Structure 1
Amino acid sequence: MSASIRHGAESFVQLLRERAIRSPDVVAYRFVGDDESADEITYAELDRRARAVAARLTAATRGRPEPALLLFAPGLDYLAGLFGCFYAGVPAVPAFPPDPTRLARTMPRLAAIIEDTGSDTVLTTSNIAPLMTEWLTTALGGRTPRVISTDVIEDDGEGPTTTVRPDLLALLQYTSGSTSLPRGVMLSHAQLMSNCVEIARGFGMHEGSAGGLWLPPYHDMGLIGGILTPLFSGIPVTLMSPVTFLRRPLSWLRMVSRYRSTITGGPNFAFDLCVRRATDADVAELDLSAVELTFTGAEPVRAETIARFVERFGPSGFRAESFYPCYGLAEATLFVTGGRPLGGWRSVSVARDALELHGTARPAEPEEPSRSLVSCGAPGPHTRLAIVDPATSEPLGDGAVGEIWIDSPSVADGYWRRPEESAATFGATTATGDGPYLRTGDLGFVLDGELFMAGRMKDLIVVNGRNYHPVDIERVCESSVTGIRRNCGAAFAIEDDAGAAERLVLVYETDPGDEEQYRAVLDGIRRTVSIELSVPPHTVVLVRPRTIPKTSSGKVQRWLARRQYLAGELEELARWQAPTRPAPVA
Structure 2
Amino acid sequence: MLTSSITTLVELLRTRAEAHGTRLAFTYLKDGEEAEDAWTFRDLDRRARQIAAALQQRGSEGDRAILLYPPGLSFIAAFFGCLYARRIAVPISPPNPTRLARELPRVRAILQSAEPRTLLTSASIAPMVEALRGVDPEIAKLDVVSTDALTIDAGTWREPELDPESLAFLQYTSGSTALPKGVMVSHGNLLHNMRTIGETFGTSDETTIVSWLPVFHDMGLIGCVLHPILQGSSTVVMAPAAFLQRPLRWLQAVSRFRAYISGGPNFAYDLCVRRIAPEQRAALDLRSWRVAFNGAEPVRARTIREFTRAFGPCGFQPGAFAPVYGLAEATLLVTGDPEGTPPTIAPFHTAGLERGQATSVTGTLEPARDLVGCGRVVGGQRVVIVEPERRVALRDGEVGEIWIAGPSVAHGYWKQPAETEATFGATLADSGEGPFLRTGDLGFVRGDQLFIAGRRKDLIIVDGRNHYPQDIELSVEHSHPAFRAGCTAAFSIDVDGAERVVVVAEADPHGNIANDTTASGDPPAALFRAARRAISADHDIDLHQLYLVRPGTIAKTTSGKIRRQATRAGFLAGSLQPWDVPAASSTATQAVPPPAPAAQIFRDREPTT
TM-score if structure 1 supplies the norm length? Answer: 0.95
Alignment of 1:6-45 (within 5 A): 6-34=3-31, 36-38=33-35, 39-45=37-43
- 2:305 counterpart letter in structure 1: A
2:164 aligned counterpart, secondary structure: coil
After superposition, the C-alpha distances for 1:511-556 in whole angstroms (9 at most, x for unaligned) are 4676822222222222222233221111110011111111111111
Alignment of 1:262-273 (within 5 A): 262-273=260-271
Corresponding residue number in structure 2 for 1:81: 78
Root-mean-square deviation (CA, aligned residues, Å) is 1.7
Is 1:557 the equivalent of 2:573? no
Distance 1:146 1:207, change over 3 A: closer
Corresponding residue number in structure 1 for 2:313: 315
Corresponding residue number in structure 2 for 1:477: 476
Is 1:260 the equivalent of 2:266? no
Alignment of 1:416-427 (within 5 A): 416-427=414-425
Is 1:451 the equivalent of 2:457? no
Alignment counterpart, residue 203 of structure 1, candidates 197, 201, 204: 201
After superposition, the C-alpha distances for 1:226-250 in whole angstroms (9 at most, x for unaligned) are 1110011111111111111111111
TM-fit CA distance, 1:319: 0.6
Moved more, 135-144 or 147-156: 135-144
Moved more, 258-267 or 516-525: 516-525
What is the CA–CA distance in structure 2 between the aligned matches of 1:220 and 1:521, rounded to whole Å?
Answer: 37
Corresponding residue number in structure 2 for 1:126: 123
What is the CA–CA distance in structure 1 between the aligned matches of 2:238 and 2:489, rounded to whole Å?
Answer: 28
What is the CA–CA distance in structure 1 between the aligned matches of 2:548 and 2:299, rounded to whole Å?
Answer: 26
Distance 1:381 1:107, change over 3 A: closer
What is the CA–CA distance in structure 2 between the aligned matches of 1:349 and 1:531, rounded to whole Å?
Answer: 17
What is the CA–CA distance in structure 2 between the aligned matches of 1:136 and 1:342, rounded to whole Å?
Answer: 50
1:538 aligned counterpart, secondary structure: strand
TM-fit CA distance, 1:381: 4.6
Alignment counterpart, residue 507 of structure 2, candidates 503, 510, 522: 510
Q: Is this contact kept in 2: 1:267–1:297, CA < 8 A? A: yes
Alignment counterpart, residue 528 of structure 1, candidates 534, 545, 563: 534
TM-fit CA distance, 1:35: 5.6
What is the CA–CA distance in structure 2 between the aligned matches of 1:392 and 1:558, rounded to whole Å?
Answer: 27
- 2:559 counterpart letter in structure 1: S
Alignment counterpart, residue 394 of structure 1, candidates 392, 395, 409: 392
Q: Is this contact kept in 2: 1:491–1:506, CA < 8 A? A: yes
TM-fit CA distance, 1:208: 2.2
1:363 aligned counterpart, secondary structure: coil
What is the CA–CA distance in structure 1 between the aligned matches of 2:472 and 2:321, rounded to whole Å?
Answer: 25
What is the CA–CA distance in structure 2 between the aligned matches of 1:378 and 1:525, rounded to whole Å?
Answer: 35
Is 1:298 the equivalent of 2:304? no
What is the CA–CA distance in structure 2 between the aligned matches of 1:207 and 1:508, rounded to whole Å?
Answer: 45
Q: Is this contact kept in 1: 2:53–2:85, CA < 8 A? A: yes
2:461 aligned counterpart, secondary structure: strand
Alignment counterpart, residue 385 of structure 1, candidates 356, 377, 383: 383
2:159 aligned counterpart, secondary structure: coil
What is the CA–CA distance in structure 2 between the aligned matches of 1:155 and 1:20, rounded to whole Å?
Answer: 20
What is the CA–CA distance in structure 2 between the aligned matches of 1:303 and 1:277, rounded to whole Å?
Answer: 19
What is the CA–CA distance in structure 2 between the aligned matches of 1:497 and 1:484, rounded to whole Å?
Answer: 29
1:200 aligned counterpart, secondary structure: helix
Is 1:148 the equivalent of 2:145? yes
TM-fit CA distance, 1:484: 1.4
Alignment of 1:53-72 (within 5 A): 53-61=51-59, 63-72=60-69
What is the CA–CA distance in structure 2 between the aligned matches of 1:423 and 1:532, rounded to whole Å?
Answer: 39
2:229 aligned counterpart, secondary structure: helix
What is the CA–CA distance in structure 2 between the aligned matches of 1:172 and 1:179, rounded to whole Å?
Answer: 19
Corresponding residue number in structure 1 for 2:136: 139
1:477 aligned counterpart, secondary structure: helix
2:192 aligned counterpart, secondary structure: helix
What is the CA–CA distance in structure 1 between the aligned matches of 2:140 and 2:373, rounded to whole Å?
Answer: 49
After superposition, the C-alpha distances for 1:64-98 in whole angstroms (9 at most, x for unaligned) are 42110100012111111111001000000111111
Alignment counterpart, residue 102 of structure 2, candidates 97, 100, 105: 105
1:230 aligned counterpart, secondary structure: helix
What is the CA–CA distance in structure 1 between the aligned matches of 2:442 and 2:138, rounded to whole Å?
Answer: 40
Corresponding residue number in structure 1 for 2:584: none
Q: Is this contact kept in 2: 1:50–1:80, CA < 8 A? A: yes
Corresponding residue number in structure 2 for 1:115: 112
After superposition, the C-alpha distances for 1:332-370 in whole angstroms (9 at most, x for unaligned) are 0000011121011111111110111x2001111412101
TM-fit CA distance, 1:467: 0.8
Distance 1:530 1:13, change over 3 A: same
After superposition, the C-alpha distances for 1:118-165 in whole angstroms (9 at most, x for unaligned) are 124100011222321331453335843211000101253312333522
Moved more, 274-283 or 35-44: 35-44
What is the CA–CA distance in structure 1 between the aligned matches of 2:524 and 2:203, rounded to whole Å?
Answer: 50
Corresponding residue number in structure 2 for 1:220: 218
Is 1:359 the equivalent of 2:365? no
TM-fit CA distance, 1:59: 1.1
Give the aligned length: 575
2:69 aligned counterpart, secondary structure: coil
Alignment of 1:142-181 (within 5 A): 143-154=140-151, 156-158=153-155, 159-181=157-179
Distance 1:511 1:314, change over 3 A: closer
TM-fit CA distance, 1:323: 0.7
TM-score if structure 2 supplies the norm length? Answer: 0.92
- 2:446 counterpart letter in structure 1: L
1:31 aligned counterpart, secondary structure: strand
Moved more, 26-35 or 139-148: 139-148
Corresponding residue number in structure 2 for 1:462: 461
- 1:529 counterpart letter in structure 2: I
Corresponding residue number in structure 1 for 2:427: 429
What is the CA–CA distance in structure 2 between the aligned matches of 1:489 and 1:84, rounded to whole Å?
Answer: 40
Corresponding residue number in structure 1 for 2:233: 235
What is the CA–CA distance in structure 2 between the aligned matches of 1:557 and 1:301, rounded to whole Å?
Answer: 17
Moved more, 112-121 or 322-331: 112-121
Distance 1:387 1:555, change over 3 A: same
Moved more, 231-240 or 405-414: 231-240
- 1:26 counterpart letter in structure 2: R
- 1:304 counterpart letter in structure 2: R
What is the CA–CA distance in structure 1 between the aligned matches of 2:254 and 2:152, rounded to whole Å?
Answer: 32
Alignment of 1:275-290 (within 5 A): 275-290=273-288
Report % sequence identity. 46
After superposition, the C-alpha distances for 1:404-462 in whole angstroms (9 at most, x for unaligned) are 00001010110011000000000000112111000000000011122111111011001
Alignment of 1:314-353 (within 5 A): 314-353=312-351
Q: Is this contact kept in 2: 1:268–1:305, CA < 8 A? A: yes
Corresponding residue number in structure 1 for 2:596: none
What is the CA–CA distance in structure 2 between the aligned matches of 1:539 and 1:355, rounded to whole Å?
Answer: 24
Corresponding residue number in structure 1 for 2:518: none
What is the CA–CA distance in structure 1 between the aligned matches of 2:236 and 2:4, rounded to whole Å?
Answer: 23
Q: Is this contact kept in 2: 1:52–1:157, CA < 8 A? A: yes
- Structure 2: where are the runs of 5+ without partners? 515-520, 580-588, 594-600
What is the CA–CA distance in structure 1 between the aligned matches of 2:436 and 2:401, rounded to whole Å?
Answer: 11
TM-fit CA distance, 1:105: 2.5
What is the CA–CA distance in structure 2 between the aligned matches of 1:412 and 1:207, rounded to whole Å?
Answer: 27
TM-fit CA distance, 1:307: 0.6
Is 1:440 the equivalent of 2:461? no
What is the CA–CA distance in structure 2 between the aligned matches of 1:581 and 1:261, rounded to whole Å?
Answer: 54
Moved more, 268-277 or 570-579: 570-579
